[in-house]
């Protein structure tokens, strides 16, 4: 049994908003990927395009891995979620380093577009996503989409309630 007075031992109940945000991040990354790949191809030919595509794949996996770690740890406790955020960041940085280290000498890799894409895509997509994140606890995750209410005039509603024609 958990102590409900201690917020560190409480856990996340219900769907994890971080997964919704991660899916949206991946969707936005997929939207800009073709443009970035074409830019890589223009300046560095096929090796540049391949390097940019590889970097975009790393960025997408990084966002998804971060969300999965936070969602998993949130089911344990908020303290575990904080630890997953802190140590997960270090783990993900290590995985990015390893992913680059493995291919750095491959003939299809150009290091400049790979590095630029890793940095620009991470920061650019996160700044783009900030416009769509809800800053309230009433709607955690993404901002709710605006739905226009259907209004009827007061004379129409009076006719319906009184039965008058």
Asked if pLDDT for residue 152 goes beyond 90, the answer is no
CA geometry: angle 52, 96, 127, nearest 5 deg: 65
CA geometry: angle 24, 97, 44, nearest 5 deg: 80
Residue 25 located in a structural domain: yes
Residue 59 located in a structural domain: yes
Residue 123 located in a structural domain: yes
Residue 6 located in a structural domain: no
- What pLDDT was estimated at residue 74? 85
Could you tell me if 75 and 15 are in contact, meaning their C-beta atoms sit under 8 angstroms apart? no
Query: What are residue 142's DSSP bridge partners?
Result: 133
Sign of the dihedral through C-alpha 46, 33, 121, 101: negative
Q: pLDDT for 90-142, tens place per residue?
A: 999 999 999 999 999 999 999 999 999 999 999 998 888 878 777 665 556 66
For residue 129, what are the CA distances in angstroms to 5, 37, 60, 116?
Answer: 34, 20, 14, 19
CA atoms within 13 A on the CB side of 16: 21
pTM over the 0.85 mark: no
What is the Cα 46 distance to its own chain's centre? Answer: 28
Q: pLDDT for 27-78, tens place per residue?
A: 999 999 999 999 999 999 999 999 999 999 999 999 999 999 999 998 888 8
- What pLDDT was estimated at residue 7? 66
Residue 72 located in a structural domain: yes
- What pLDDT was estimated at residue 40? 96
Residue 51 located in a structural domain: yes
Residue 113 located in a structural domain: yes
Number of structural domains (the chain) is 1
Domain containing residue 124: 17-162
Residue 145 located in a structural domain: yes
Quick one: the chain helix, strand, coil %, rounded to 5?
Answer: 70, 0, 30
Q: pLDDT for 106-120, tens place per residue?
A: 999 999 999 999 999
Structure tokens at 129: 């996503």
């Amino acid at each position: 049994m958990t102590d409900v007075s201690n917020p560190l031992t409480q856990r996340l109940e219900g769907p994890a908003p971080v997964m919704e945000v991660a899916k949206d991040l991946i969707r936005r990354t997929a939207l800009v990927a073709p443009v970035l790949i074409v830019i890589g191809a223009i300046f560095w030919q096929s090796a540049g395009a391949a390097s940019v595509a590889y970097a975009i794949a790393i960025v997408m996996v990084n966002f998804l891995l971060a969300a999965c770690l936070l969602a998993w740890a949130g089911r344990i406790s908020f303290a575990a979620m904080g630890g997953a955020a802190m140590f997960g960041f270090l783990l993900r940085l290590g995985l990015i380093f390893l992913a680059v280290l493995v291919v750095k000498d491959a003939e299809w890799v150009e290091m400049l577009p790979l590095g630029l894409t890793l940095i620009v895509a991470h920061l650019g997509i996160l700044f783009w996503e900030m416009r769509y994140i809800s800053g309230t606890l009433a709607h955690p995750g993404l901002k709710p989409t605006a739905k226009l209410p259907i209004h009827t005039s007061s004379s129409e509603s009076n006719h319906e309630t009184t039965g008058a024609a």
